[in-house]
Structures are given as structure tokens and as C-alpha cells.
Amino acid sequence: MLYMESATTIEQVRQSVAAARTAGKRIGFVPTMGALHAGHVSLIEAAIGRCGYVVVSIFVNPTQFGPGEDFDKYPRDLEADMSICKQAGVDLIFAPSASEMYQKENITWVSVDKLTLNLCGKFRPGHFRGVTTVCAKLFNIVQPDIAFFGQKDAQQALVIKRMVADLNMPLQIVVCPTVREPDGLAVSSRNKYLSAEERKDAVLLSAALAECEKLVAAGQRSCEALIEAMRKIISESSKAQIEYISIVDTETLADIDVIEGRALVALAVKIGSTRLIDNVIISYQPRSA
């Protein structure tokens, strides 16, 4: 019989984690906003594989949503999330209220420069400041040895890693591969918003990335040509509005012109009113003579 604790207060979390640590357990942490899916389960499984005590937080963080974004309609189903976590073998769920997490007026922020300027940062002002602030708070509350993030949010993972390094936070960040539906669509809580027709068109994001990988393997190294090829594929959908298709350095996230070695290909596209993101890391290996 699987036993899972659940906490809504910071104090409860501190007590449960302290007891696990006293019992000699390594603490693993998976921060989420709920609406859990196979991607989250893969993070939980990775955490269970490396840690004796696994904490999952479920908190739809208001400070990372901009005006006009989907904070109010973001899918929330705590009961279903609890059952997924229990089934997966999670030890503790932390599902705080907004008032448990934030004072009436939050005036202390954690923000990472440079890495947040391109890609999603360009289109979602303040988003990463909200993410890094809530993650810093959650890391202080849970005090994990390892926290697990998904590669689907490639920029988020890099920004969090940099925050942890720059602020000397005593934890390790592990980034796990993107989980995909059989047709290639990256799993995401926001896929729930898609109508049946939109769901069909959503596959164009991963199809475009796959085409990019194929072209690079065939020797195409011009980012302009690669972006144009991806734009063409996504434009097959009349419901698609491209926010960005970018090819960037994997460490600085700055745009690049020519593929030399590794590069991150990332895109954000609205299908109807649903904003989806996806990415792949490609690498160009010149054939030896």
C-alpha cells in the first residue's frame, strides 16, 4: 500500500522533509503547476530513481503569468494530481495556497539576466522573474538535494540552472527528456485546451523540428534556410500563429546564423488561442575527409 503525505503549509513541509533527512534519505523535488501528465510522471520516476524521498509541489504560480495570459483558466484538478502522484510513488505533495506562498505584496524578486532576454522571454515579459522567484522560494522551503525539470521548457531549465549556480544554492538540477505523444506532439498541460481540429494541427510543431533535424543531417547549416523550412511546415495550418522560430546557442541562448556543433532549435506557436512550445537540440558533425 503506497502512503503519501500531503501538505498545504510550509511548516508541514519543513517537518516532513527534516524527518526524511534525519532518516538518511536524499530529497528529490519536482516542482509543478499541476494538471499532471506523462511528462511530469517521467520527472517523478527520475526523482524516485535517484532519491529516497520525493516531494512534488503543485502550485499555479500567479507571478509567472502576464496580463491576458491563462492564469485563471489554467487547468486545475488537485484530486487527479494527487492520485497520479500516489500511484507514481511520491512521498509528499505540497499544494499551498497563494497566500501561503506570497505575502500580500511581494517586493523581493529573483531574476536572471541575459538568458531571459530571447525566446519566450521576449514575448512574456516578467515570466521568468516569476519562475525564478517561485523556484527560489520552493527550493528554500523543500531544501532538496536534486530538483527535476523537463527539457520541453529548455529556456526555463537553463535559467534555473544558472540561478542555482549564481546564488550558490546547495542543490543539483537534473533536466529530463521531453515526453511526446505517439505522433510527436510534446506532452503539455496546455494540450488540454486544444479542440480536436487544433490537436491535429499541433503536430506541425514537432514535424517542423523533425524536418530541421533532417535538413541539418543532410548538410544544411544556414539558420535562415532552416527557419524558413520550419515556417513553411507550420504555415500549413490556417490556425497557427508563429510567435518565434529560433536557432540559438545552447549556453547563451543568443541567435546564431550558422550551425556549428550543437544548437537549440526552439519555437512557440499559437494554435487557435493555445500557445505551445517545443524544441530540439541539434548537432552538426562535419564528415571527416
Dist. CA 174–CA 170, nearest whole Å: 13
Contact characters 112-151, ligand PAF, x per CB under 6 A: -------------------x--xx----------------
H or E element, residue 56: strand 53-58
The single residue among 16, 32, 118, 191 that binds ligand PAF, judged by CB under 6 A, is 32
Burial of 11 (0-12, 13-18, 19+ CB in 10 A): exposed
Are 131 and 182 in contact by the 8 Å Cβ rule? The answer is no
- Taking the complex as a whole, how short is the minimal distance between the CB of residue 227 and ligand PAF, in angstroms? 26
Contact between 28 and ligand PAF (CB under 6 A)? no
| 22 vs 99, beta carbon nearer ligand PAF | 99
* Cα 154 to chain centroid, rounded: 7
Span near ligand PAF by CB under 6 A; candidates 28-36, 81-89, 170-178, 257-265: 28-36
- Taking the complex as a whole, how short is the minimal distance between the CB of residue 289 and ligand PAF, in angstroms? 45
The single residue among 7, 20, 28, 31 that binds ligand PAF, judged by CB under 6 A, is 31
Catalytic choice (16, 35, 39, 40): 40
Q: Is 40 a catalytic residue?
A: yes
Contact between 33 and ligand PAF (CB under 6 A)? yes
Dist. CA 64–CA 70, nearest whole Å: 11
DSSP letter string, 254-271: -B-SB--EEEEEEEEEEE
Dist. CA 223–CA 221, nearest whole Å: 6
- Taking the complex as a whole, how short is the minimal distance between the CB of residue 10 and ligand PAF, in angstroms? 16
The single residue among 153, 198, 201, 278 that binds ligand PAF, judged by CB under 6 A, is 153
Residue whose C-alpha is closest to residue 117's, from 246, 272, 240: 246
Pairing of strands 27-32, 53-58: parallel
Assigned C-alpha cell, 2: 503506497
The single residue among 61, 116, 178, 279 that binds ligand PAF, judged by CB under 6 A, is 61
| 135 vs 227, beta carbon nearer ligand PAF | 135
Find where cell 515579459 sits.
125
- Taking the complex as a whole, how short is the minimal distance between the CB of residue 57 and ligand PAF, in angstroms? 7
| 53 vs 94, beta carbon nearer ligand PAF | 94
Return the number of other C-beta atoms located less than 10 Å from residue 104's C-beta: 5
Dist. CA 228–CA 226, nearest whole Å: 5
Assigned C-alpha cell, 97: 495556497
| 64 vs 191, beta carbon nearer ligand PAF | 64
- Contact residues for ligand PAF, defined by CB under 6 A: 31-33, 61, 64, 131, 134-135, 153, 156
Please identify every residue annotated as catalytic: 40
